Amino acid sequence: MSMEEQLMNLKNEALSLILSAEDGKTLEEIKLQFLGRSGKLTLALKDIVKVPVENRAEVGKLANEVKQAVEEALERQEGFVKKETITKKRAAIDTSIPGIQPQIGHLHPMTQVMLDVVEVFKQIGFQAADGPEIETDHYNFEVLNIPKDHPARDTQMTFYLDTRNSKVTPGEVILRTQTSAMQGRVMQKVKPPVRVIVPGKNFRYEQVDASHGFEFWQVEGFCVDTHIRLTDLFGTIDYVLRRLMGQDIKLKFATTNFPFVEPGVDTYMECTVCKGKGCSFCKYAGWSEIMPAGMIHPNVLKAVGYDSQKVSGFAFAIGLSRLVTLRYHMDDLRLLTNPDLRILKQF
């Protein structure tokens, strides 16, 4: 058999197998069978050197044409097989079946309420500030009219940082117990008028129960200007809480004592969990403390360099963690730190 006949037979054999192939694996086997390192067509091309010199050019040209024809047939059939496979897969898919819903994250309820609080205060001229959670005793207590020997310190069980083997005086660096610590930091840098809120996390060594935690969020707020009165404070509290919790909420105020305000007031809101009937969250009182406040003490104004004879101001601290639980009618503050997605997906 001449070389030309051998090449044509290989071409016909390869094309026949290629056209009958129905999957990629079969096509790959055919490719190796003819074009692989030890393939039939590859070996035949190596034998061209045995062809007489006068016929070698013509045989070589034919060999290249055969190889090109096999390669093009393989490429066409691969495309056809791929298209057929996709068509079959599509036909097997029931497009009427609902797809798998992706897990899309959303803001934590604490963050949602905090952003609402910030937005309401921005609308009445307050600016939001941020401060350090690791604070100094100076700003957390002393600037706020709570010297080291003051009994009010006993009401805020404080976490002290271990400063051994450092140059820091023991007991001077703490985890802040109140975002009120930002009053001194802001007012020392900004001259009146001042309207600021400070959302943030605080820490106290407290017994954890349905309405208390050792880690909790507050929104501190303070306003200093000329002619600020207690009625301005009451009006601000009433406006903000009704914007956040609804116009129909019931509020009441009671006198209280805080070293950094004089006079001091406590704001109570009717418990939304039990509708005022009494439950474990409100300690069966029907009311929940939501916003302690008062007129900034003259000693605090003096400590930050303000003239207490010319300016006055009020301050408040919204218990943000408690506000969230009351807004969503939760009966336990600890739900906010529970990582169970079945809880968090509800908000």
Q: Are residues 48 and 190 in the same domain?
A: no
Whether 146 is in a domain gets the answer yes
Q: How many CA atoms lie within 13 A of 330 on its CB side?
A: 22
Distance in angstroms (rounded) separating the CA atoms of residues 77 and 79 = 5
In this structure, are 73 and 128 located in the same domain? no
Task: Give the C-alpha separation, 212 to 208, whole Å.
Answer: 5
H or E element in which residue 59 lies:
helix 53-92
Q: What gap in Å lies between CA 321 and CA 340, rounded to an integer?
A: 18
- Indicate whether 99 belongs to any domain: no
Distances (CA, A) of 77 to 6, 20, 63: 24, 9, 21
Residues 79 and 124 in one domain: no
Q: For 125-180, how does the pLDDT look when each residue is reduced to its tens digit (9 = 90+)?
A: 999 999 999 999 999 999 998 888 877 777 778 888 988 888 888 889 999 999 99
Residue 132 within any structural domain of the chain: yes
80/126 same-domain check: no
Q: Please indicate, yes or no, if residue 76 is contained in any of the structural domains.
A: yes
Mean pLDDT of all residues belonging to the chain: 86
43-52, 110-119, 198-207, 216-225: segment of lowest average pLDDT: 43-52
Residues paired with residue 295 on neighbouring β-strands, in sequence order: 314
Clarify whether residues 227 and 320 are in a common domain: yes
Q: What percent of the chain stands above pLDDT 70?
A: 96
Q: Does 103 fall in a domain?
A: no
Q: Are residues 152 and 234 in the same domain?
A: yes
Report yes or no on 100 lying in a domain.
no
What one-character-per-residue DSSP string does 81-140 give? HHHHHHHHHHHHS-TTS--PPP------HHHHHHHHHHHHHHTTT-EE----SEEEHHHH
The reply to whether 101 falls in a domain is no
| pTM of the predicted structure, to 2 decimals | 0.66
| CATH classification of the domain holding 206 | 3.30.930.10
Residue 26 is predicted with a pLDDT of: 83
Q: Tally the domains of the chain.
A: 2
Residues paired with 177 in a beta bridge = none
8: containing domain: 3-92
Shared-domain flag, residues 37 and 80: yes
Cα angle at 228 between 263 and 182, to 5 degrees?
A: 70
Q: Are 59 and 48 in contact (CB under 8 A)?
A: yes
Between CA 301 and CA 311 the distance in angstroms is: 9
**123 & 228 share domain:** yes
- Asked whether residue 98 is assigned to any structural domain, the reply reads no
35 lies in the same domain as 170: no
Rg (CA), the chain: 40
User: Is 324 found in the same domain as 239?
Assistant: yes
Do 70 and 125 lie in one domain? The reply is: no
